[in-house]
Amino acid sequence: MRESFQKLYKVLPVHSELRNLQMTSQQGSKNKQSETASKKEGTTATKTNENNNLELDSLFEALEGDLTSLDNEAAVSLIDQWYSSLHKAKEPEIKEIANSLKNLKQLVKSGKATGHEIGEVLIEIGEQTSDLGSEADKELKTPLQRLGKQLSKIGVSLGKQEDREQIEQIDSLLETLEGDLTEIEPEAAQGAIDTWYTLLHKSENENLQEIANGLKELKQLLKRKTAKGADFAQVLTKLSEQTEQAGAEAARGFKGPLKKLGKLLSKAGQSLAE
């Protein structure tokens, strides 16, 4: 696969060279030699196309597998292979894909990127690959467009999977808040806060950043043995307002759970203030 994309763009120039050879060929043995060379080049081009199709099909099958089993190191290695094959190309379309792969590598390597962030780059690479396929020769058109669609599909699914996981976390927190808060162990509470803080503090959304700061303050209170119910009530009430505001602006799948979470936080704050 390291050389596959370089080979893809040598196919069309081969056809061009063959036409030039036929037009400039001379009489006699030179003409025969040119025809022989043309046949060989044509055969080579056909074999190259077949090999490229096989490699693209192989990559497509790999992308249809369970990508969750692919660790960061393996993913970075795979991206490096693609990038090394493409970044030296002169064609602007290929350079665009190489730059997108570079961005993808940085996100994966950071270990902090969200599924949505990685998904957006994969969708972009998928669209670029499909566009490239629309301009490719007949043998490569379908495999490239198929690969592009699969990359875009994976990008969309990563975002949806992350959304599902976050909604499950919200539901879990809702169950906790609906129970007896006095029975929650401090360590368990701190673990839940850590999970939420990690999820939210990287967000560019100001409302979510405010919630993350509130969670950080709540964790500090839990560590303080002298903290009183009124202290917790104040932080929980503030968190409830921020969460309800975030819910009002959230996407449809998050709107209901976040609003419900805000109300339960408010209820918890009121109970601790009494």
Per-residue confidence of the chain (274 residues) as pLDDT tens digits?
A: 333 333 333 332 333 332 333 333 334 444 444 454 444 444 444 444 444 444 555 555 555 555 555 567 777 877 787 788 777 878 888 888 888 888 888 888 887 777 888 888 888 988 988 888 888 777 777 777 888 888 888 888 888 887 787 778 777 777 777 766 667 777 777 887 887 787 777 777 788 888 888 888 888 888 887 888 888 888 889 989 988 888 888 776 777 878 888 888 888 888 877 6
Length of the chain: 274
Predicted pLDDT of residue 8: 33
142 shares a domain with 66: yes
Q: Per the structure, how many domains does the chain have? A: 2
Q: What is the pLDDT of residue 63?
A: 57
Which of 110, 126, 161 marks a domain boundary? 161
3-state DSSP percent of the chain in helix, strand and coil, to 5 = 85, 0, 15
Same-domain check for residues 142 and 211: no
Statement to judge: residues 243 and 126 lie in one domain: no
What pLDDT is attached to residue 54? 47
155 & 188 share domain: no
Specify if 174 maps to a domain.
no
Residues 201 and 77 in one domain: no
Residue 60's pLDDT is what?
52
Q: Could you tell me if 78 and 149 lie in one domain?
A: yes
115 lies in which domain range?
4-161
Q: What distance in Å separates the CA atoms of residue 193 and residue 181, rounded to the nearest whole number?
A: 14
Name the token pair of 134.
Answer: 């629309």
166 in any annotated domain? no
Q: Are residues 74 and 147 in the same domain?
A: yes
Which pair of tokens denotes residue 183?
A: 């029975």
pLDDT computed for residue 274 by the predictor: 66
pTM across the whole model: 0.53
**Based on the domain organization, do 152 and 123 belong to the same domain?**
yes
Q: Both 10 and 138 in a single domain?
A: yes
Dist CA 239 CA 249 (whole Å): 16
Residues 67 and 183 occupy one common structural domain: no
Closest CA to 56 of 118, 121, 122, 149: 149
Which amino acid is it at 45?
A
Give the model's pLDDT for residue 244: 87
Is 117 contained in some domain? yes
Per-residue b/e over 235-250, b at no fewer than 16 CB within 10 Å? bbbbbbbbbbbbbeeb
171 within some domain: no
One domain for residues 213 and 262: yes
Residue 262 CB neighbours (<10 A):
21
Distance in angstroms (rounded) separating the CA atoms of residues 274 and 259: 23
Final residue of a structural domain among 99, 134, 161: 161
Q: Please classify residue 24 by burial: count the beta carbons closer than 10 Å to its beta carbon, then call 0-12 exposed, 13-18 middle and 19+ buried.
A: exposed
Do both 157 and 184 map to the same domain?
A: no
Structural domain contains residue 170:
no
- Taking the C-alpha atoms of residue 115 and residue 162, their distance in angstroms, rounded to an integer, is 6
